[in-house]
Chains A and B, each alone.
Chain A
Amino acid sequence: MTAPVTAPILRLLGAEQVYTSRNANGPGWTTVRAVDSVDLDVNEGETLAIVGESGSGKSTLAKLMLMLNKPTAGKVQFRGTELGSLGRDRRQQFRREIQAVFQDPASSLNPRMTIERILGYIVRRHALCPAGETRAFLAAQLASVGLAPPEQYLERYPHQLSGGQQQRVAIARAMMLRPKIIIADEPLSSLDVSVQAQVLELMKTLHEATNVGFVVISHDLGAMQAIADRTAVMYRGRVVEIGPSIYTEPFHPYTKLLLDARLSLDPRRSRIRRLDTTLPRATPPEALKGGCRFRHRCADSVDICATREPTLRPVGPRGAQAACHRAEEVNAKASHAAGANAAGRAAI
């Protein structure tokens, strides 16, 4: 999808979030730079995936985009205005246009309310339909996320629904306001694989029907490859690579590491049983003073990596960006390996 050239609906400019906590034993404070000067644009109608390991700052980034956290430095803009300085009307517009879906649907739905009450509150708050027609409106909303017959679901409590049904209700709640972007933090990881496929399908359908965009945070590269227009890879608070085809053309060695860590679904090609994969170990964060933050886990690091921290720069012909001094070499090696592999398979 190519969005028309308009200002991005959400824009992060050098956004930074530092968490400070008192040390548990002993004096002093510990600070964690969860998000470290991130520049990122989210355009209307696009699906942007954010991937990375736990602790890389993905969820903090989502909180910044949802105005649940105030950045400690930098800016988060909604249609050109900084979030903190939105007036009352504009803030309401922000809340309507940017909606959220969370990882665990059971804990994001009030267990003591029926689905009708949970959703009805939002209908009244935002005056989405005339007062007498709430029930019919809600039924239509549930039907649009594939819950049929909807009247039956309206009377239930969250615990009477399965995980997939709960997630559909959460998506319906977000969709009611006709948002431009839904920010979904790990929407799939608490669901079974067959239900994941259904939810992915639903997201695609909703996108086609209403052009709603998604910012999906996930550690599941396979699922993201299926739906993302662009994917941002985060590592220790920074976006280290962003582009439309990171799954097939990785430019950053960390992206490559993540891709290599996926399990094979072909028992004949199992790498673990052949014992032919060795991965560099994770290093403690104190080893990361200066230079590239990935270099201690990187097989391709050279002298410059220890002295100069790379920033995002355009790489390749498809508008990708990577923060690596040796992005082109990494990419060439990756595609060479993939090519050799394909040739090898053809020979067999």
Chain B
Amino acid sequence: MSGVQRDRSEAGTTDAPEAPDAAAPVLLDVGCLKVHLRLGHAVIRAVDGVDFQVRQGECVGIVGESGSGKSTLARGITRLMPNVKIAELSGNLRFEGRDILNMGDRELRTLRRGRGFSMIFQDPLGYLNPTQRVGRQIGEALSQDATTGSYESRVWALLDEVGLPDPKNIARRYPHELSGGMRQRVMIAIALASDPKLLFADEPTTALDATVQLQVLQTLHRLHRERNMAMAIITHDLGVVAELCDRVYVMHTGKVVESATTVELFENPQHPYSARLIDLSTRRISQEHRS
């Protein structure tokens, strides 16, 4: 992590989108994952036999409409499932070769806190503590073992890294004093505090204005590049996928119906559901002039 004075410009290297590196080692390997939830007497097969992989340093998209199981998939993988009754949780779930499906809570926590995976959510206000200054909330998430720099300077460096101006000032604010885009950046800073190898982002920009959305996506992409951090982005917006992701999984009723590189998916969708999603999204902006 560089210092507070680091150049924060979003424009870095101007490389064209490249094909995902097929030789990179697999970071996350999900095989036939089932997450069935119990709702009263009914069982909902929210995730029903999903195969899913993320390689080191790549950006993967998971798209689908509401109810397709994409968020449950991410929560199943990150094992963040409070307040739900699980009817069945089975399959193969490995992070760097370690079985995380049967991992104990203590071990999981270690994995989340140090060089494992982090997650950010659609609604930052719902996940930030309204009674604590944001600096403290970021500090709480810092990995314990790292020794570089003081606690405060590491918080400031993180705030700076996610593109917030005047980190020392922001660190002393409460969540309600920040705008939606700034809050989402604070969430990203918290997620980055454990220096993760994989970042899950569940609808990271859905609640944001279009201009702010573009800035936050740019920041995510810059972090992805600079830290060589793998990302899995869950979204209903094919635009986010087209802008950011190397590969994409299309989910429908709890199953992956198509998996392809982003270019392949957009140019030659194989599954009728993917084709329909792309058609609906592109038709609306068919006659426009893009700049």
Given the complex of chains A and B, what is the CA–CA distance between A67 and B289 in angstroms?
A: 38
Is B221 close to A, CB under 8 A?
yes
Is B239 close to A, CB under 8 A?
yes
Answer whether A247 and B210 are a contact pair too, CB < 8 Å, given A263-B240, A272-B243, A275-B222.
no
Is A271 close to B, CB under 8 A?
yes
Contact A275 B13 (CB under 8 A): yes
Contact A257 B211 (CB under 8 A): yes
Q: Which residues of A from 90 to 129 have beta carbons under 8 Å from B?
A: none
Name which of B77-85, B93-101, B276-284 contacts chain A: B276-284
Given the complex of chains A and B, what is the CA–CA distance between A284 and B246 in angstroms?
A: 36
Given the complex of chains A and B, what is the CA–CA distance between A269 and B285 in angstroms?
A: 15
Which residues of A lie under 8 Å from residue B242 when comparing CB positions? 263-267, 270
Is A273 close to B, CB under 8 A?
yes
Contact B209 A53 (CB under 8 A): yes
Given the complex of chains A and B, what is the CA–CA distance between A342 and B244 in angstroms?
A: 23
Which residues of A lie under 8 Å from residue B288 when comparing CB positions? 222, 225, 247-248, 259, 262
Q: Which residues of B from 246 to 291 have beta carbons under 8 Å from A?
A: 262-263, 266, 276-278, 280-285, 287-291
Q: Mask for B121-154, Cβ within 8 A of A = 1, else 0?
A: 0000000000000000000000000000000000
Contact B285 A276 (CB under 8 A): no
Q: Which residues of A from 139 to 183 have beta carbons under 8 Å from B?
A: 163
Which residues of A lie under 8 Å from residue B16 when comparing CB positions? 273-274
Which residues of B lie under 8 Å from residue A163 when comparing CB positions? 66
Answer whether A267 and B263 are a contact pair too, CB < 8 Å, given A225-B285, A248-B289, A258-B211.
yes
Which residues of A lie under 8 Å from residue B213 when comparing CB positions? 261, 263
Which residues of B lie under 8 Å from residue A69 when comparing CB positions? none
Name which of A41-49, A189-197, A307-315 contacts chain B: A189-197
Given the complex of chains A and B, what is the CA–CA distance between A192 and B238 in angstroms?
A: 12
> Which of B10, B13, B17, B239 interacts with A263 by CB under 8 Å?
B239
Contact A275 B280 (CB under 8 A): no
Contact A262 B276 (CB under 8 A): no
Which residues of A lie under 8 Å from residue B181 when comparing CB positions? 282
Minimal Cβ-Cβ distance residue in A for B219: A272
Minimal Cβ-Cβ distance residue in B for A195: B65
Answer whether A338 and B289 are a contact pair too, CB < 8 Å, given A193-B236, A194-B276.
yes
Answer whether A278 and B276 are a contact pair too, CB < 8 Å, given A257-B211, A261-B211, A264-B243.
no
Which residues of B lie under 8 Å from residue A341 when comparing CB positions? 289-291
> Which of A221, A277, A282, A342 interacts with B214 by CB under 8 Å?
A277
Contact B291 A263 (CB under 8 A): no
| Chain B interface residue bracket vs A | 35 or more
Given the complex of chains A and B, what is the CA–CA distance between A54 and B206 in angstroms?
A: 13
Is B2 close to A, CB under 8 A?
no
Given the complex of chains A and B, what is the CA–CA distance between A206 and B174 in angstroms?
A: 47
Which residues of A lie under 8 Å from residue B66 when comparing CB positions? 163, 192
Which residues of B lie under 8 Å from residue A194 when comparing CB positions? 65, 276-277, 280
Is B53 close to A, CB under 8 A?
no
Is A230 close to B, CB under 8 A?
no
Contact A273 B221 (CB under 8 A): yes
Which residues of B lie under 8 Å from residue A54 when comparing CB positions? 180, 209
Is B9 close to A, CB under 8 A?
yes
Which residues of A lie under 8 Å from residue B222 when comparing CB positions? 275
Given the complex of chains A and B, what is the CA–CA distance between A247 and B285 in angstroms?
A: 10
Answer whether A192 and B236 are a contact pair too, CB < 8 Å, given A248-B288, A265-B242.
yes
> Which 6 pairs across A and B sit closest by C-beta, in order of nearness?
A263-B239, A338-B289, A222-B284, A261-B210, A192-B65, A267-B262
Offer 29 A-B interface pairs, CB within 8 angstroms, sorted by A: A193-B65, A197-B283, A222-B285, A225-B287, A225-B288, A247-B288, A258-B210, A258-B211, A260-B291, A261-B214, A262-B285, A263-B237, A264-B239, A265-B242, A265-B278, A265-B285, A266-B242, A267-B263, A269-B290, A272-B221, A274-B17, A275-B13, A275-B218, A275-B222, A279-B211, A282-B181, A282-B211, A338-B289, A342-B289
Beyond the given A192-B65, A193-B65, A267-B262, please list 9 additional residue pairs across the A-B interface where CB-CB is below 8 A: A225-B287, A258-B210, A259-B288, A263-B217, A272-B221, A275-B11, A279-B215, A282-B181, A282-B212
Question: Could you tell me which B residues sit within 8 Å of A by CB distance?
Answer: 9-17, 65-66, 165, 179-181, 209-215, 217-218, 221-222, 236-245, 262-263, 266, 276-278, 280-285, 287-291
